[in-house]
Structure 1
């Protein structure tokens, strides 16, 4: 199998990376200028700035939930190197990230609008090498570069308005309840689609950055074993509401 085919084949295997999943073949880039399929508008910039402010406001709460910030200069340099190599090959190489290692044994990583990137020391301990770490981080960075926070906020606002209209017009009728259920299903499907897109972006990024794409599969195996152990031991992970 050719390297590119092997690289894309992993997308079908590495679904569910760090509570998320993975994507589609990368687009063929032609020379010359092309219009963006995700143009930046004034409205989008303003909305992203507001989301970044909200993310900034959540930072203290996240630290409190996950035991504060874990300080280890060696780990910090390693994570920063991985993030830097992935940023260079990303769709937005000018994006800056604020990296925080959380002092929690739980295995988790997530990103918020504005480039707030969080990784627990538990995840760092579970990852066997920088390639496995890159697989996790690339997925979370994919959510940022794809503007998933903004997209979800817009969809939730639309569904909220639709819910109010349905409630005002139809009240508590079976038709109204069915409409509300359809709205929730649309949000759930939207979330799954976002995860798949972030998976695709992540797989593409780690390959272009020179990491082994099959590291994602190795990490998933470790994650599965860890999850089995947690279920047997009865331990629970901290989570945000």
Structure 2
């Protein structure tokens, strides 16, 4: 193995630490989320109902105030899309579609959805998922360097952006538990979390 390959491989391995996803400062986390927010709004559009937007934000902020990151500014947006979905981005950005709202039967159920998404933010699931993905990509790049076959993987994959894809079961269960805790502290019944889970389970049936 040539010396430059050894050095590059060692550098990549040093970068694959468990703290990769947590090293991002809150300022950068917010900046990253804000950049992705523009893409989300551009793709789905904001639902033109100021009263509804205000109501969702009111419920969301009530829960966020009881979270482990109450100092973070949260942004709640109802998207103009009929799919049943809700998701969050790093930095305090929470989204729920009008299609999801149609299936909400109470404020507590709305609180359950928002609490779940707020938990994804407070537990930094988006950043942790991205970190794990980077580790996998870096290991692949390292293997390509060691074998002398860089064509195995594109280096650009290591710098991939945030993608709105499903979280692992581990993260989803954690968001359920943490979100239910936030709900209870905010005065909502955590039992509503079970109802919303059923809604999400049945959305594709």
Shorter-chain TM band? 0.7 to 0.9
Residue segments in structure 2 that go unaligned for 5+ positions in a row? 1-18, 150-166
Shift of 1:198: 1.3
Q: Larger relative CO (CA 8 A, sep 6+): 1 or 2?
A: 1
1:49 aligned partner? 27
2:194 aligned partner? 217
Q: 1:155 aligns with which of 129, 132, 150?
A: 132
2:93 aligned partner? 116
Shift of 1:100: 1.3
Contact persistence 2:61–2:74 (CA under 8 A): no
**Mean Cα deviation higher: 114-123 or 191-200:** 191-200
Distance in 1 between the 2:195 and 2:169 partners? Answer: 22
What do the CA deviations read for 1:63-87 (whole angstroms, capped 9, x no partner)?
A: 2332x11121221222122112211
TM-score by length of 1: 0.62
2:36 aligned partner? 58
**Aligned-CA RMSD value:** 2.5
Shift of 1:45: 6.4
Q: How many residues align?
A: 169
Residue segments in structure 1 that go unaligned for 5+ positions in a row? 1-40, 173-189, 229-241
Distance in 2 between the 1:49 and 1:153 partners? Answer: 17
Q: Secondary structure at the match of 1:126?
A: coil
Within 5 Å, give how 1:133-172 maps onto structure 2: 133-170=110-147
**Mean Cα deviation higher: 211-220 or 99-108:** 211-220
Q: Secondary structure at the match of 2:51?
A: helix
Contact persistence 1:87–1:93 (CA under 8 A): yes
TM-score by length of 2: 0.72
User: Within the alignment, does 1:191 sit opposite 2:168 as a pair?
Assistant: yes
1:92 aligned partner? 69
Contact persistence 2:32–2:91 (CA under 8 A): no
1:235 aligned partner? none
Q: 1:165 to 1:221 in 2, by over 3 A?
A: closer
